[in-house]
Structure 1
């Protein structure tokens, strides 16, 4: 299989992620697990402009790092280990979205979890958004820390880095990444007025 539909879906969401300012320049990454190979996934290439990205540039690789399809001059995102670790640990996860959205990344930079203050955070994210301990970019440690922190939730912050969201579809993973940014922004604005009131999990 050439996985053209999956490649194009990744490119479409990557461009949307850029247009909606969840990332800047070449930051962030998106992947989708292959339906006929649960040990492999398609992922955005590293250091390439989203504006010029095409489906043919998407890299396909295994969770162990073996390149199955890699266009000339391309290489997988430096955070491929993050995606691989999430797929390795969570059989139900079929898509991963990693953003550097500004409000959520501000929370990540001060290593503060996003508290459960919005009703929609419970069904969409599973509650508050916790912060994974810091580790250097692209390392096994940052991948393991993120997988540990997400647990059964839909997303987590990566300390001094950004957001990672997971789901059983790319659309849902993307929506979750958007909800994380929305919650961070609203909490920031609410704190300009007073103290946001946390709500209990139901």
Structure 2
């Protein structure tokens, strides 16, 4: 079986994703991981808690399905576009996750950009782009997602949800959880008033501070 370990890892991540951030009923999460020129993606029509490694399709970067008991999930088109872009630009991002959580859908339905209201936003690249609305599972939403993820580790898809990438499945899941948390924090802040937004200079200092341990540059 092609990429057996990667298929097992995709199954586990899909289950962890649902338990970590929740999602809409039905097929509302997609997980993929790339190994060289091959990509494992979650299949269409199989619930995360029922996934088996053999269910997961293995695809080539030119969108050919090489193996798997089921067809790829509808959002495989989006995932493949992101993987191709990462490979072409030499990024170390090998995993992509997307989910329709309550907070990512809410923010993506209202804002054109999620502003950085907490220093942890720096880990995703700062302000998070919200793509224009397009129909899910199409080449158009795939192109918009790939564009929004240039220089970023997460994006919001208008009226749709969130997508994140990482240098492995665990990292991609962590980034999706962070995106969901930032959306929730912003929504909570808006209930009180207009949130304070961190500037690019402040985010740059956060990134610089992140290179140190407890003994930061100004501790003495």
TM over 0.5: yes
Question: Which ranges of 4 or more aligned residues in structure 1 deviate by more than 3 Å?
Answer: none
Cα deviation, residue 22, structure 1: 3.3
- 2:63 corresponds in structure 1 to 65
The structure number with the bigger radius of gyration is: 2
Cα deviation, residue 42, structure 1: 0.2
- 1:84 corresponds in structure 2 to 80
| TM-score calculated relative to the size of structure 1 | 0.92
- 2:212 corresponds in structure 1 to none
- 1:26 corresponds in structure 2 to 27
Cα deviation, residue 174, structure 1: 0.8
Query: Is the 2:107–2:187 contact (alpha carbons within 8 Å) kept by the matching residues of 1?
Result: no
Cα deviation, residue 63, structure 1: 2.1
- 1:9 corresponds in structure 2 to 9
Cα deviation, residue 125, structure 1: 0.5
Matches of 1:112 and 1:135 in 2, distance apart?
A: 14
1:155-170 aligned at under 5 Å gives the runs 155-170=154-169
Cα deviation, residue 146, structure 1: 0.8
Cα deviation, residue 14, structure 1: 0.4
Cα deviation, residue 118, structure 1: 0.5
Cα deviation, residue 10, structure 1: 0.8
| TM-score calculated relative to the size of structure 2 | 0.85
- 2:43 corresponds in structure 1 to 45
Cα deviation, residue 112, structure 1: 3.3
- The gaps in structure 1 that reach 5 residues or longer are none
Matches of 1:20 and 1:125 in 2, distance apart?
A: 18
Higher helix share: 2
- 1:147 corresponds in structure 2 to 146
- 2:199 corresponds in structure 1 to 200
Cα deviation, residue 180, structure 1: 0.7
Q: How many residues were matched structurally?
A: 196
- 2:98 corresponds in structure 1 to 98
Matches of 1:10 and 1:60 in 2, distance apart?
A: 11
1:77 is paired with a residue whose SS is coil
2:98 is paired with a residue whose SS is strand
User: Is 1:115 the equivalent of 2:111?
Assistant: no
- The gaps in structure 2 that reach 5 residues or longer are 205-220
Query: Is the 1:131–1:158 contact (alpha carbons within 8 Å) kept by the matching residues of 2?
Result: yes
Over the aligned positions, Cα root-mean-square deviation in angstroms equals 1.3
